Amino acid sequence: MNIVRAKDYQDMSKKAAGIIASQIIMKPNCVLGLATGSTPIGAYENLVEWYQNGDLDFSKVSSVNLDEYRGITRENDQSYYYFMNKNLFGKVNIDKANTHLPDGMESDSDKACSDYNKAIEAVGGIDLQLLGLGHNGHIGFNEPSEEFVPDTHCVDLAPSTIEANKRFFASYDDVPKQAYTMGIRNIMLARKVLVVVSGEDKAAIVRDAFFGPITPKVQASVLQLHPNVTLVADEAALSLI
């Protein structure tokens, strides 16, 4: 694992964006695995700025997102489809036909998951997978469990995850309780993995995930087995290692 120490969130965002930009420049038709949440927003802002300055071209890039809430429409401002269009897709020249997210409105979970596994295979796999890190060690919506689930699946969100997402909704009751998410094998088959983490509140899970035992109770710990992982984190998030 390569650990890149950043001074603060802004520095972390710029360093992470630089790694993503390098992937696009080296392979213009690359497949990016993308993440949502508050942590990647700064990286997306940098990528948009570099595109607007003429330094990046997304026209041949394809993308697959980690997850999507189940039972929420794409038009809902809390859907991850909406998030990606607001923060990246709507601001660069990526072909929307080449962007992929699980279908949150597909009520048949087996079909939704099977279709998404096929979509990942159809684009040729993931060149660079961007990940955030949940307080409980989840990556995507792979919550602490007794096992590593390999492929895209429907997951019941942990109470801590629902609580963390509550700030984006009118009330706790409005937060979706399920999501479709890539599985651990989907993530581990990415040729490169980029993890971004910021804040002192993540220091303990950074320590546990990357320097503790490999266990499905800390899903991110499996990344210790990946041959090409880069962790970009600020000083606060790295304070316990």
- The full set of domain ranges for the chain reads 2-213
Is it the case that residue 166 has pLDDT exceeding 90? no
* Catalytic residue selected from 46, 65, 67, 153: 67
Q: Dihedral angle at the C-alpha atoms of 228, 22, 190, 105, nearest 10 degrees?
A: 140
**Angle between helices 41-52 and 9-26 in degrees, nearest 10:** 50
pLDDT digits (tens, 9 = 90+) for 100-151: 999 999 999 999 999 999 999 999 999 999 999 999 999 999 999 999 999 9
Q: Which of 43-57, 58-72, 159-173, 176-190 has the lowest mean pLDDT?
A: 159-173
Residue of 106, 127, 143, 234 marked catalytic = 143
Q: How far apart are CA 24 and CA 55, in angstroms?
A: 11
pLDDT of residue 213: 98
Residue 201 has pLDDT above 90, yes or no: yes
Sequence letter at residue 158: A
Distance CA 201, CA 13 (A): 17
Whether 67 is catalytic is yes
Q: Where is pLDDT greater, at 206 or 169?
A: 206
CA pair distance 108, 162, nearest whole angstrom: 22
pLDDT, one tens digit per residue, over 13-62 is 999 999 999 999 999 999 999 999 999 999 999 999 999 999 999 999 99
How is domain 2-213 classified at the CATH fold level? Rossmann fold (3.40.50)
Nearest Cα to Cα of residue 210 among 180, 239, 241, 187: 241
What secondary structure does DSSP assign to 218-238, as a single string? BGGGGGGG-SSEEEEEETTTT
Catalytic one among 65, 87, 117, 136?
A: 136
pTM of the model: 0.95
37 φ/ψ sector (left φ>0, alpha ψ -120 to 50, else beta): left
Catalytic hit among 103, 117, 138, 165: 138
Identify whether 136 is a catalytic site residue: yes
